[in-house]
Amino acid sequence: MSDDPDVDDLQRRMTGAVEVLKQEFSGLRTGRASASLLEHVKVDAYGAAMPLNQVSTINVPEPRLITVQVWDKGMVRAVEKTIRDSGLGLNPSADGQLIRVPIPELTEERRGELAKVAGRYAEHARVAVRNVRRDGMETLKKMEKAGEMSKDDHKVWSDEIQEMTDETIKRIDDAVTGKQKEILQV
């Protein structure tokens, strides 16, 4: 080991937790059409579960409509069924190789549920960040115990890791607040 812990790795892992959170948020409905809403949907195609964007083109021609242009005519029924069964509360209709997916208005109850889901996603991200902090702190303790770091250095690095953690948690809190506001907006 070197004289200082791998802070860049800790920062990368914390940033990764925020990126995963933002990706999860993109799958949450807000009442507006978004191509990212269907990004996580996987369809059984050619003997494998493939992301929808690998068997079709997803467009948003209107604020309340998503269109899915399926490339293979034989896949239209499977794509339509997969979207219907995705748990997103969508009811697609096929017209040849084009599938129209109207985005219904969210009820107040559904908005509340989605806001709670966003909160759960954020809590998972906070836990991931705290786990990264714990790993960093354990590394500092081991380095100090092995004589590779003084108590003063341990305190300095410990404070830096805590500051990094606090900044990342604040980014998560800001992201979830924004997403919840977006979901609850009528």
**Each residue of 27-56: pLDDT tens digit?**
776 667 777 778 778 898 888 888 888 889
- Residue 1: its pLDDT value, please? 37
118 found inside a domain: yes
Domain end among 102, 135, 151: 102
As given in the structure block, the two tokens for residue 172 are 């998560």
Rounded mean pLDDT, 59-77: 89
Q: Do 124 and 63 share a structural domain?
A: no
The answer to whether residues 43 and 50 touch, using CB atoms and an 8 Å cutoff, is: yes
153 found inside a domain: yes
48 found inside a domain: yes
Q: Which long-range contacts (CB under 8 A, 24 or more apart) does 157-165 make?
A: 157/4, 157/5, 157/7, 160/7, 161/5, 161/7, 161/10, 161/133, 161/136, 161/137, 162/133, 164/7, 164/10, 164/11, 164/14, 164/133, 165/14, 165/129, 165/130, 165/132, 165/133
pLDDT of 135 above 70: yes
Q: Do 114 and 85 share a structural domain?
A: no
- Residue 64: its pLDDT value, please? 84
Which has the higher per-residue pLDDT, 6 or 139? Answer: 139
CATH code assigned at 122: 1.10.132.20
Residues 6+ apart with CB under 8 A from 54: 45
Domain limits at 11? 7-26+107-184
Q: What does residue 88 show for φ and ψ, rounded to 5 degrees?
A: -90, -5
pLDDT of 149 above 60: yes
2 found inside a domain: no
Mean pLDDT of the chain: 87
Q: Do 72 and 47 share a structural domain?
A: yes
179 found inside a domain: yes
Among 101, 108, 99, which residue's Cα sits nearest to residue 184?
Answer: 108
Q: How confident is the model at residue 103 (pLDDT cuts 50, 70, 90)?
A: confident
Q: What percent of the chain has pLDDT over 70?
A: 95
Q: Do 17 and 85 share a structural domain?
A: no
112 found inside a domain: yes
Rounded mean pLDDT, 99-109: 85
- Residue 23: its pLDDT value, please? 84
Q: Do 113 and 97 share a structural domain?
A: no
> How many structural domains does the chain have?
2
